[in-house]
Structure 1
Amino acid sequence: MTAPSGTVTLRRYGLDEVDAVRPTLSELYAEVYADRLSDPFFSVERFEERLDGHVSRPGWEAVVGYDNGRPIGYAYGSPLPERSRWWAGMLTPLPEQDTDETGGRRTLALFELMVRTPWRKTGSAHRIHEELLSGRPEERVTLLVEPTHPKVQKLYEQWGYENVGDQRPFPDAPLYATMVRRLR
């Protein structure tokens, strides 16, 4: 494994470049989740199915970090559509005014944020995250984090996210803390 050089460059990808970036996203996912790939929910096949659904939405974007040309991490998201199912799995339902989606301008769903091990605790994840959010038209961003990762949840809180409750987005998914951050 290559050591970090200290110089990470960021590249934004839009819907028109999904085919070009898809192998990078899948490769990084497989590496980061290597210890969980035997769980059907975390398999590469299920990741790619979820990715297909995510890229089917207008406004999808990804930011990939590169160190000397090697991908080291990424984040991607897309706006929640009207009548989004995102909030349906909440264990304690939120008020309707908190879950009513306008079809692209209210909430960005941050579906994935991951960084290869040597680049963790270098600030790379935060840089990738903030680049994805920069210039977005949405009012807020939401993400899911497993409560079994309290350090990750604490990091998101330091980045301005607030936990609004737990949800199970799919019957075979783990329980997730649902977090929201205002963008404007």
Structure 2
Amino acid sequence: MNELTPPSTHDLLKDLDVLVFSSVKSKEFDHFSTYKEKKIEVCFQLSNLYRLLTAESYQSFSKDKENFDKLSQKEKQKQLKEWSKKAKPFCKKADAKFKGRFRSSLVFYRDILIHSKKYYKIEDFNAIIDFIVQEKLLVPTIDPLPKIDMNEVDSYALQAFEQGPLNFKK
């Protein structure tokens, strides 16, 4: 059996569709603040983590993401609905178990009280995976389990910050 090499942190962050948020650290607002003067948050969705953990391999997960990006908008909505239906029971169960343990979640509402999206900070990624395995919330099919190198997250965020959300492709 040949040993699969784990993905780089940059590839993992890109394929997980993480969001990079920035805010100014000081109270004085300046549009021309440099990267160092801004507070940067990188967040991921639990449903994307579910798809990763239940993939046969990282390569198949990445290929699914690549194929998804090529779909038309209507086909993307259909695929997202299907993925969401599969991930929803796990996400509800995991969110309930995470309460009090991982407080670094952010919730964004698309419409009033109907659709919300919960994001977890990337700092908790490795701990969340460990917790999922320990608590047997899910038996991951992917091997080896993905790990994020926190030292590389800043360079990914800097790249995303400098290139902007519409141009960020590797």
TM class, shorter-length: under 0.3
Structure showing greater radius of gyration is 2
Q: Which has the higher helix share?
A: 2
Scaled by the length of structure 2, what TM-score is found?
Answer: 0.27
Structure 1-normalised TM-score? 0.25
Q: Which has the higher strand share?
A: 1
